[in-house]
Amino acid sequence: MILSNETKKYVKFFLFYTGILLFSGCAKGDKRPDKALLACKNCEEVIFGASGLTLLPDHFARYPNGSKGIQEFISTNINYPELAKKKGIQGRVIISFKVDTAGSIVDTKLIKGVNQELDKEALRVVKLMSGWYPAIKDGKYVAIEYKLPIVYSF
């Protein structure tokens, strides 16, 4: 399918603001769901990717403190590999991952890489990011896929 420049602009606009909405807003009073409730047998899967949203959840998965919490976690835990730093390598790594029905990170994948060391470090840090509030659809916890850009610069 061929898209006009105007359509491409709207698609980029939609994806950009959808990404912001997905990672923003974690209510301060939220409590982690009970572990017994997280053991969901009939869970559906929500995939948000290049092909679009196949099932829109009632509540998206959220990280504690929203996008600010994600930024703090990444900046606290990421290490800029010395070899890449010495070579002056910078760029944006994009990692895809799913937040499962228990709020854990699963199925991490490299979508766009910059350098082997930077890519490995970005994957390592995303895998550490636990404690998400799972997405909810029709009262059930559902798995959902996200894409997270990690920018290396100095």
pLDDT in tens, 87-146: 999 999 999 999 999 999 999 999 999 999 999 999 999 999 999 999 999 999 999 999
pTM of the model: 0.66
Report d(CA 70, CA 146) in Å as an integer: 13
Kindly indicate the confidence band of residue 6, based on its pLDDT and cuts at 50, 70 and 90: low
Tell me the CA distances in angstroms from 23 to 83, 103, 147, one per residue in order.
31, 14, 10
